[in-house]
């Protein structure tokens, strides 16, 4: 078998040779978790190099040794997946921290504007919150609202449009715009007028400015989220959202234990062979 392997061009992908090893390669097109029993097409070349190296190192002489070599190959492949996941998690960390700090800093100011607009109790309730749109969706809604206010002035439905986009998670800028919209609605109710007053004209300008500032904030958030998305998609090997550094450390510890157990098994087989001889 070793002489045959040496004649094969290493540029050609070569995977596991035993039944157990080949079974792991089935359904290659599927995405996988770190520990799933599949080998992706883009991993085939690396698997072939690992297989060739282990065959050269151990020179297996039986089927059971071939299977242990297959297990060693897959064990080292899992180790590489863990390393990739670690790199990705630490690459994402600075951007995720920035987003978290932005959210924390905005929350107190957001609650303030909602409270003085008389909307606080409607937003901060128990139960499943209605999530706001993604940054690109918020930007589209804000720009559409800007156009409407410029073209036909402020209307009661503007507040509902803004609340529909932000759900139970308004930001500081959205809450400020809501406060101004409520102020306009209250003034119209008090005066029983539909024409634009001098005060309303000033509020209209402030609302448009608040919407523009919020658009810019959402554009910043969209760039941050895109940077995380780019990091997530940089590797062909994707993980579910679950893994954290602690989970990956447990994977790595289990992987190392398995590697040592496989080497011990191989050594025991060879000791038995030597004793029998």
pLDDT tens across the length of the chain (277 residues) = 333 233 323 344 455 555 555 544 543 333 345 767 678 888 889 999 999 999 999 888 888 899 999 999 999 998 998 888 888 888 888 887 778 777 776 776 777 677 666 675 555 455 556 778 888 889 988 999 999 999 988 887 888 888 888 888 888 888 888 888 888 777 765 655 544 555 677 888 888 999 999 999 999 988 988 887 777 666 555 554 555 677 888 888 999 999 999 999 999 998 888 887 7
CA distance 186 to 258: 70
In the three-class reduction of DSSP (H, G, I as helix; E, B as strand; rest coil), residue 28 is classed as coil
CA distance 70 to 142: 57
Q: Which run of H or E residues covers position 253?
A: helix 245-276
What's the pTM value of the predicted model, to 2 decimals?
Answer: 0.50
Beta carbons of 237 and 87 less than 8 angstroms apart: no
CA distance 39 to 256: 19
The whole-number pLDDT of residue 4 equals 25
Q: Pick from 119, 37, 102: which is nearest to 75 by CA?
A: 37
The neighbour count for residue 212, using CB atoms within 10 Å, is 15
């Amino acid at each position: 078998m070793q002489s045959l392997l040496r004649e094969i061009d290493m540029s050609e992908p070569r995977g596991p040779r035993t039944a157990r090893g080949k079974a792991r390669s089935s359904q290659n097109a599927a995405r996988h978790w770190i520990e799933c029993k599949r080998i992706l097409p883009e991993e085939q070349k690396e698997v072939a190099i690992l297989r060739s190296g282990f065959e050269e190192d151990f020179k297996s002489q039986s089927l059971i040794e071939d299977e242990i070599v297959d297990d060693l190959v897959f064990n080292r492949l899992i180790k590489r997946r863990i390393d990739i996941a670690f790199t990705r998690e630490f690459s994402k960390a600075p951007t995720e921290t920035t987003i978290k700090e932005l959210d924390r800093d905005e929350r107190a100011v957001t609650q303030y504007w909602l409270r003085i607009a008389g909307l606080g109790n409607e937003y901060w309730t128990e139960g499943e919150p209605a999530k706001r749109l993604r940054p690109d969706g918020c930007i589209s809604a804000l720009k559409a609202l800007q156009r409407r206010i410029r073209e036909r002035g402020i209307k009661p439905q503007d507040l509902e449009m803004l609340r529909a986009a932000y759900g139970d998670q308004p930001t500081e800028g959205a809450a400020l715009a809501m406060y101004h919209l409520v102020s306009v609605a209250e003034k119209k109710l008090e005066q029983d007028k539909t024409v634009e007053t001098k005060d309303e004209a000033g509020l209209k300008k402030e609302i448009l400015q608040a919407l523009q500032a919020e658009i810019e904030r959402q554009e910043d958030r969209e760039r941050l989220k895109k940077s995380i998305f780019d990091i997530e998609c940089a590797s062909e090997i994707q993980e579910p959202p679950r893994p954290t550094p602690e989970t990956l450390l447990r994977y790595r510890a289990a992987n190392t234990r398995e590697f040592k157990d496989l080497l011990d098994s191989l050594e025991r087989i060879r000791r038995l062979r030597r004793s029998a001889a």
